[in-house]
């Protein structure tokens, strides 16, 4: 990668000091933040050790904080024993049993509340149901569900018995589901008859049946939640209704005490090459990261109503729906459906009706809602909201300002939180009562997180606004442990570039004169479409699996709402389709939807006789990106075998 590729282009000068009223009541003030930073810098291991002792309830305390003997396969608190579900539920029963844990609203408008006591009972019941089907510590369980309380219950139940969950986003196709079930070697799938989204039914059981019909020999049991009530076939011996599975079972379930390093979950995410990677997280280190950041970044207290809009199919839904806020004894809101169903006021109406105090969403949602006009949020009472958050992609200053002015009414701090599936928890973010914010910057690393920006040789980039690789210099407890079943790939993807010296995030970034971080985007072939990571290779493989496609190259194009959209250049077997190709384009879009899921569907498809390649045969992606974005071509194209294809790629020939 050349440095010019990652030169900074943003120039944003506005600064918003911390709101003094917020600061007075904040969990972390100026001085405590400075003290935490000092402690973390002078003794990073001692810093994490103190936190792990004070924040986690241990069944058996640990004696060694960090084991770096097999670095970069770090281990944290390794000889300690705990249970994550115990730390999210049981620890609150003495003081907060009757406090609301979950406020749920379905897309059709049905609502449900669960107190901590009720949630505890539901988790225990379902944990016993899993055990009754022979699921034990270390077994993998795939969860493919709508965003309903049972998704959280299923995850917590797995944690309770030491089973390793792998949640697959309900928007992924049967083919993706099958790949993930097989990758994890799951013994069990937990799904629902369907979920509701945008007025439609998402047929989860049908997709599960399809996945299982085509492989997945390890799956013995399928639990099916009744959500829509639509009839679905049940396979005798294999499939069991959730509500029948729990009949007659106890609502108490002794937690399975596991080692700190016991895998809590796998979560598949896209990389630049090959198949999605099963990111493996630990129990104690992960819990510590999710809990601490929930309390520090979201300033969560027991009387907060926290709504993180992410689906549990993504890491954000793991750390800030299922684990972090529950460990902090807060109340969470879960909403099953689409942000604009039945109209663009749904999010704001939910905030008003449920008294949301802290709201966390993605820039893509903010932009979509912004486009609908500020008259819509103006109709709702948003006065209870005290803090706003953003995650998943860089937020453009215009969307930041709208969020600040219209939703935050100028009063609420905004925390723009940078992190990844791999980091487990927020890494770079303002502390809301302290850090002055700048629209578009995630500001500065949290205490104990040694983020830096380095050049190709691994030297720290100190010139303000000069771009480089975003890296983390020291291990941290909630970091991924490995890639499931492929430690080589873990080493290669995250550590090899700088000889294991630091974790390479795969993002480029720059720092301004105040030391604020500005994330510029991925440096690998990963797209960020509506805050979701998609590997270009995955989409290319899906396209070439179509019988008429010989070759494909996928790049990202800027998109007003989604941030980036999928742009595919395609070479067909035989003659290049010309004239009206709309029907064939639709066929290809449907094909990709079927292979991967609707989020991976190309917005643009362009047919060419061949793809531009370097002499060594590498596809010239930078050229394709320029063409997709309608930018001038700066590459040397004189060596192309067939210069006429440039016009074809541009859609002119």
- Binding interface with ligand WTA (CB under 6 A): 269, 314-316, 391-394, 416-421, 442, 505-507, 519, 522, 528, 533
Evaluate whether 417 touches 429 at the Cβ level (below 8 Å): yes
Q: How many angstroms separate the CA atoms of 314 and 334, rounded? A: 14
Would you say 418 or 476 has its CB closer to ligand WTA? 418
Query: Cβ 135 to ligand WTA, closest distance in Å?
Result: 27
Query: Cβ 395 to ligand WTA, closest distance in Å?
Result: 7
Rounded to the nearest 10 degrees, the angle between the axes of helix 284-296 and helix 44-55 is 90
Evaluate whether 176 touches 168 at the Cβ level (below 8 Å): yes
Would you say 189 or 362 has its CB closer to ligand WTA? 362
Query: Cβ 566 to ligand WTA, closest distance in Å?
Result: 16
How far, in Å, are 136, 296, 325, 383 from residue 22 at the CA level?
46, 13, 20, 14
Query: Cβ 475 to ligand WTA, closest distance in Å?
Result: 18
Would you say 184 or 425 has its CB closer to ligand WTA? 425
Q: How many angstroms separate the CA atoms of 299 and 266, rounded? A: 28
Would you say 179 or 239 has its CB closer to ligand WTA? 179
Instruction: Look at residue 80 and give its three-state secondary structure.
Output: coil
Would you say 416 or 585 has its CB closer to ligand WTA? 416
Would you say 181 or 414 has its CB closer to ligand WTA? 414
Query: Cβ 268 to ligand WTA, closest distance in Å?
Result: 11
Evaluate whether 81 touches 257 at the Cβ level (below 8 Å): yes
Q: How many angstroms separate the CA atoms of 494 and 279, rounded? A: 12
Query: Cβ 313 to ligand WTA, closest distance in Å?
Result: 10
Evaluate whether 191 touches 145 at the Cβ level (below 8 Å): yes
Would you say 96 or 522 has its CB closer to ligand WTA? 522
Give percent helix, percent strand, percent coil of the chain, each to the nearest 5. Answer: 30, 25, 45
Query: Cβ 299 to ligand WTA, closest distance in Å?
Result: 18
Q: How many angstroms separate the CA atoms of 622 and 644, rounded? A: 18
Of 438, 442, 412, 414, residue with least CA distance to 427:
442
Would you say 49 or 280 has its CB closer to ligand WTA? 280
Provide the phi-psi class of 528: left if phi over 0, else alpha when psi is between -120 and 50, else beta.
beta
Query: Cβ 492 to ligand WTA, closest distance in Å?
Result: 17
Q: How many angstroms separate the CA atoms of 77 and 64, rounded? A: 6
**DSSP secondary structure code for residue 70 in this structure:** T
Query: Cβ 507 to ligand WTA, closest distance in Å?
Result: 5
Q: Which residues have C-beta within 8 Å of that of residue 21, sequence separation ≥ 6?
A: none
Query: Cβ 394 to ligand WTA, closest distance in Å?
Result: 4
Query: Cβ 73 to ligand WTA, closest distance in Å?
Result: 20
Would you say 431 or 572 has its CB closer to ligand WTA? 431
Q: How many helices (H) and strands (E) does the chain have?
A: 22, 30
Q: How many angstroms separate the CA atoms of 208 and 131, rounded? A: 21
Q: How many angstroms separate the CA atoms of 322 and 313, rounded? A: 11
Evaluate whether 146 touches 110 at the Cβ level (below 8 Å): no
Angle at CA of residue 6, ends 506 and 559, nearest 5°: 80
Q: Per the structure block, which two tokens stand in for 334? A: 């879960």
Q: How many angstroms separate the CA atoms of 451 and 226, rounded? A: 45
Q: How many angstroms separate the CA atoms of 317 and 431, rounded? A: 21
Q: Where are the alpha helices (DSSP H) in 214-263?
A: 242-245
Query: Cβ 266 to ligand WTA, closest distance in Å?
Result: 14
Instruction: Look at residue 559 and give its three-state secondary structure.
Output: strand
Query: Cβ 45 to ligand WTA, closest distance in Å?
Result: 26
Query: Cβ 33 to ligand WTA, closest distance in Å?
Result: 19
Would you say 344 or 556 has its CB closer to ligand WTA? 556
Task: Indicate the residue whose CB is closest to ligand WTA.
Answer: 421
Would you say 394 or 535 has its CB closer to ligand WTA? 394
Query: Cβ 302 to ligand WTA, closest distance in Å?
Result: 25
Query: Cβ 332 to ligand WTA, closest distance in Å?
Result: 17
Would you say 86 or 314 has its CB closer to ligand WTA? 314
Would you say 170 or 344 has its CB closer to ligand WTA? 170
Would you say 188 or 395 has its CB closer to ligand WTA? 395
Q: Where are the alpha helices (DSSP H) in 324-382?
A: 324-327, 346-354, 363-371, 375-378
- Going 363 to 368 to 371 to 374, the CA torsion angle's sign is negative
> What is the maximal distance between C-alpha atoms in the chain?
75
Would you say 354 or 562 has its CB closer to ligand WTA? 562
Would you say 289 or 506 has its CB closer to ligand WTA? 506
Q: How many angstroms separate the CA atoms of 285 and 278, rounded? A: 18
Hey, what's the torsion of the CAs at 492, 495, 496, 500, to 10 degrees? -140
Evaluate whether 530 touches 364 at the Cβ level (below 8 Å): yes
């Amino acid at each position: 990668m050349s440095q010019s590729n990652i030169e900074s282009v943003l120039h944003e000068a506005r600064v918003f000091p911390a709101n003094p009223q917020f600061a007075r009541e904040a969990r972390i003030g100026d001085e405590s933040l400075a003290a935490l930073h000092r402690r973390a810098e002078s003794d990073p291991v001692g810093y994490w050790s103190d936190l792990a002792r004070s924040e986690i309830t241990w069944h058996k305390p640990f004696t060694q904080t960090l084991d770096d003997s097999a670095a970069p396969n770090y281990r944290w608190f390794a000889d300690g024993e705990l249970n994550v579900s115990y730390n999210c539920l049981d620890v609150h029963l003495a003081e907060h049993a009757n406090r609301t844990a979950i406020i749920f609203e379905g897309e059709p408008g049905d609502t449900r509340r669960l107190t901590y006591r009720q949630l505890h009972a539901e988790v225990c019941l379902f944990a016993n149901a899993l055990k009754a089907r022979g699921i034990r510590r270390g077994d993998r369980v795939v969860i493919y569900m709508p965003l309903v309380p049972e998704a959280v219950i299923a995850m917590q139940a797995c944690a309770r018995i030491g089973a390793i969950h792998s949640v697959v986003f309900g928007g992924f196709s049967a083919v993706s589901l099958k790949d993930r079930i097989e990758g994890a070697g799951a013994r069990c799938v937990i799904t629902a008859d369907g979920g509701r989204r945008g007025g439609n039914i998402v047929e989860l059981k049908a997709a599960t049946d399809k996945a299982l019909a085509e492989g997945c020999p390890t799956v013995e049991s399928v639990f099916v939640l009744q959500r829509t009530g639509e009839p679905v076939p049940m396979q005798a011996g294999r499939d069991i209704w959730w509500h029948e599975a729990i009949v007659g079972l106890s609502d108490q379930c002794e937690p399975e005490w596991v080692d700190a390093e016991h895998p809590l979950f796998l979560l598949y995410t896209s990389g630049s090459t090959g198949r999605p990677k099963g990111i493996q997280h630990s129990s104690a280190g992960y819990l510590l990261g999710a809990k601490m950041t929930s309390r520090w970044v979201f300033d969560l207290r027991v009387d907060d109503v926290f709504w993180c809009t992410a689906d549990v199919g993504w890491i954000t839904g793991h750390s800030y729906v299922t684990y972090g806020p529950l460990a902090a004894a807060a109340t969470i809101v879960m909403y099953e459906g689409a942000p604009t169903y039945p109209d663009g006021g749904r999010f704001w109406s939910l905030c008003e009706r449920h008294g949301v105090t802290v709201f966390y969403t993605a820039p893509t949602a903010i932009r979509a809602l912004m486009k609908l006009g500020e008259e819509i949020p103006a109709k709702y009472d948003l006065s209870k909201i005290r803090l706003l958050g953003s995650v998943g992609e860089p937020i453009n200053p215009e969307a930041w300002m709208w969020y600040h002015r219209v939703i935050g009414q100028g009063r609420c701090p905004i925390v723009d939180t940078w992190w990844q599936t791999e980091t487990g928890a927020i890494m770079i973010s303002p502390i809301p009562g302290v850090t002055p914010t700048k629209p578009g910057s995630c500001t500065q690393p949290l205490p104990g997180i040694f983020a830096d920006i380095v050049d190709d040789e691994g030297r720290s980039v100190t010139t303000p606004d000069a771009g480089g690789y975003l890296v983390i210099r020291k291990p941290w407890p909630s970091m991924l442990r490995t890639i499931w079943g492929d430690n080589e790939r873990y080493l290669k993807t995250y550590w090899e570039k700088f000889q294991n010296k630091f974790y390479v995030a795969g993002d480029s970034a720059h720092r301004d004169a105040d030391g604020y971080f500005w994330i510029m985007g991925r440096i690998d072939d990963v797209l960020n479409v509506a805050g979701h990571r998609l590997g270009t290779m995955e989409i290319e493989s899906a396209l070439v699996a179509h019988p008429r496609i010989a070759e494909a190259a996928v790049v990202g194009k800027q998109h007003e709402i989604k941030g980036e959209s999928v742009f595919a250049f395609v070479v067909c077997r035989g003659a290049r389709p010309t004239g009206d190709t709309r029907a064939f384009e639709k066929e290809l879009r449907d094909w990709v939807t079927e292979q991967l899921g609707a989020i991976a569907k190309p917005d643009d498809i362009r047919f060419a006789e061949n793809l531009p390649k370097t002499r060594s045969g590498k596809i010239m992606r930078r050229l394709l990106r320029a063409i997709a974005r309608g930018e001038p071509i700066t590459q040397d194209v004189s060596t192309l075998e067939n210069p006429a294809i440039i016009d074809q790629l541009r859609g002119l020939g």
